[in-house]
């Protein structure tokens, strides 16, 4: 379900990551209410793929036979059709060895596929979110608050994918826009790349006070960085947990993190950590 600009950005950036993109730029205007545009350098889509991508339950990611073995962000084939139902959606894309193509969808109605000029990858542009449902528009918060939620989504996805580069620009009022977030692609092994990424996002203070974690038990693997108790925080704002590289907001997992530090932190202090729990997707929990 697309409830607000940040959820649209999350779906679009996840699609870009699923497409193997290494650079994603997100442009936004008016808190995402008038424009959300995600440009990626991923595998792209062919002219024939475009209408399919916009039909319900069409996904290129699983064949439906094994819902328990999900390794991509997307698997339901619902994001693009829902975006095309709640706003004016335009997708331009180019797959290797193919010509670029473009499709438009508004109020759930698909337009024809037309040629488009782009060198590679995909540009998804969503304009006038909820234009046809003013009631839903009313539930959105101020542009500032919606923008902040978009930044938070990007921060999390950028922590999950340190090898990829991300930018977020606010184009409100036209012109070059204002750069709101930037995370350059990090190289090196996972821990080097993640250290670089976390220094960029959480600050050097975090990485200088955090230890790499890489442990395995009972088929579960935990990797990331956990800060020393001396670097405890006054809030839980620097707690970022992932399962198989996907940002999660699961109470039980955050409770487990708190429990792990219980003996070394006073009750009003909070640990800081960025941890990815790696589980075999086929494993029953
Ligand atoms: N940025 C992109 N690059 C390449 N293909 C894309 C991109 N975004 C969407 N697609 C294609 O469109 C399909 C539908 O996307 P979506 O509605 O988000 O469903 P899902 O991600 O669950 O498959 C995807 O399965 C994929 O084949
Ligand atoms: Mg998707």
CA of 79 to the centre of ligand 2 (A): 5
Q: Tell me, what's the pLDDT at 167?
A: 98
Report how far ligand 2's centroid is from the alpha carbon of 131 (Å).
22
Query: Which helix H or strand E contains 81, and what residues bound it?
Result: helix 79-86
- In ligand 1, the atom with minimum distance to the C-alpha of 75 is 22
* HSE-up (13 A, CA, CB side) for residue 262: 7
**Residue 104: both structure tokens together:** 């438009």
Query: What whole-number distance in Å separates Cα of residue 263 and Cα of residue 267?
Result: 10
Determine the Cα–Cα distance for residues 126 and 140; give it in Å rounded to an integer.
16
Ligand nearest to the CA of 75: 1
Identify whether the C-beta of residue 36 lies closer than 8 Å to the C-beta of residue 5: yes
Cβ(150) – ligand 1 distance below 6 Å: no
Q: Is the shortest distance between the CB of 41 and ligand 1 below 6 Å? A: no
Q: Tell me the CA distances in angstroms from 26 to 6, 149, 153, 258, one per residue in order.
A: 11, 13, 11, 34
In the chain the domains, ranked by start, together with CATH numbers, are: 5-183 (3.30.565.10), 190-278 (3.30.230.10)
pLDDT at 62: 56
Write down the pLDDT at residue 252: 93
- 61 Cβ below 6 A of ligand 1: yes
Looking at residue 238, what is its pLDDT?
96
Nearest CA to ligand 1 atom 8: 15
Q: Give the position, in ligand 1's atom list, of the atom nearest the Cα of 76.
A: 22
Give the pLDDT of residue 234: 96
What is residue 270's DSSP assignment? B
Ligand 2 center to residue 60 CA distance, Å? 10
Q: Check: CB of residue 26 under 8 Å from CB of residue 169.
A: yes
Nearest to 261 by CA among 216, 222, 227: 227
Q: What's the pLDDT at 193?
A: 97
3-state secondary structure of 126: strand
Helices and strands (DSSP H and E) totals, the chain = 8, 14
Cα distances (angstroms) measured from residue 100 to each of 59, 97, 116, 117, 247: 20, 10, 5, 6, 32
Q: Is the CB of 122 under 6 A from ligand 1?
A: yes
pLDDT in 10s for each residue of the chain, 285 residues: 688 999 999 999 999 999 999 999 999 999 999 999 999 999 999 999 999 999 876 677 655 555 555 556 665 668 999 999 999 999 999 999 999 999 999 988 999 999 999 999 999 999 999 998 888 888 999 999 999 999 999 999 999 999 999 999 999 988 889 999 999 999 999 999 999 999 999 999 999 999 999 999 999 999 999 999 999 999 999 999 999 998 998 899 999 999 999 999 999 999 999 999 999 877 755
Tell me which of 80, 116, 126 to substitute to probe ligand 1's pocket, judged by most ligand atoms within 8 Å of the beta carbon: 80
Closest CA to 14 of 78, 69, 58: 78
Instruction: Identify the pLDDT of residue 249.
Output: 87
Tokens of 40: 């990626």
Task: Give the nearest ligand 1 atom to 11 CA.
Answer: 18
Top mutation candidate among 10, 13, 17, 18 for ligand 1, by most atoms within 8 Å of CB: 18
Rounded to the nearest angstrom, the distance between the alpha carbon of 178 and the centre of ligand 2 is 27
- The pLDDT tens digits of the residues spanning 249-285 come to 889 999 999 999 999 999 999 999 999 999 987 775 5
Tell whether pTM > 0.85. yes
d(C-alpha 34, C-alpha 237), whole Å: 29
- Regarding the beta carbon of 226 and ligand 1, being less than 6 Å apart is answered no
């Amino acid at each position: 379900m697309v409830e607000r600009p940040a959820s649209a950005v999350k779906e679009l950036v996840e699609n870009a990551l699923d497409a193997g993109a290494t650079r994603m730029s997100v442009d936004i205007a008016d808190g995402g209410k008038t424009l959300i545009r995600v440009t990626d350098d991923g595998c792209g889509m062919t002219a024939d793929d475009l209408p399919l991508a916009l039909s319900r339950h069409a996904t290129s990611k699983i064949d439906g036979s094994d819902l328990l073995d999900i390794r991509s962000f997307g698997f339901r084939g619902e994001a693009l059709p829902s975006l095309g139902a709640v706003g004016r959606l335009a997708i331009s894309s180019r797959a290797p060895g193919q010509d670029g193509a473009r499709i438009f969808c508004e109020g759930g109605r698909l337009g024809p596929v037309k040629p488009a000029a782009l060198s590679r990858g995909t540009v998804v542009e969503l304009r006038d979110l909820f234009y046809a449902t003013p009631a839903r528009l009313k539930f959105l918060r101020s542009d500032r608050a919606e923008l902040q939620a978009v930044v938070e989504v990007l921060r999390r996805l950028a922590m999950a994918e340190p090898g990829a580069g991300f930018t977020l620009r606010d184009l409100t009022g036209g012109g070059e826009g204002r750069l709101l977030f930037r995370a350059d692609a990090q190289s090196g092994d996972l821990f080097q790349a993640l250290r670089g990424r976390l220094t960029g996002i959480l600050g050097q203070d975090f990485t200088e006070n955090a230890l790499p974690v890489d442990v395995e038990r009972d088929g579960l693997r935990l990797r990331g960085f956990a800060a020393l108790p001396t670097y405890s925080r006054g809030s839980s704002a620097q707690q970022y947990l992932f399962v198989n590289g996907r940002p999660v907001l699961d109470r039980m997992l955050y409770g487990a993190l708190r429990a792990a530090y219980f003996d070394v932190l006073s009750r009003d202090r909070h640990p800081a950590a960025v941890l990815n729990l790696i589980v075999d997707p086929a494993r029953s929990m």
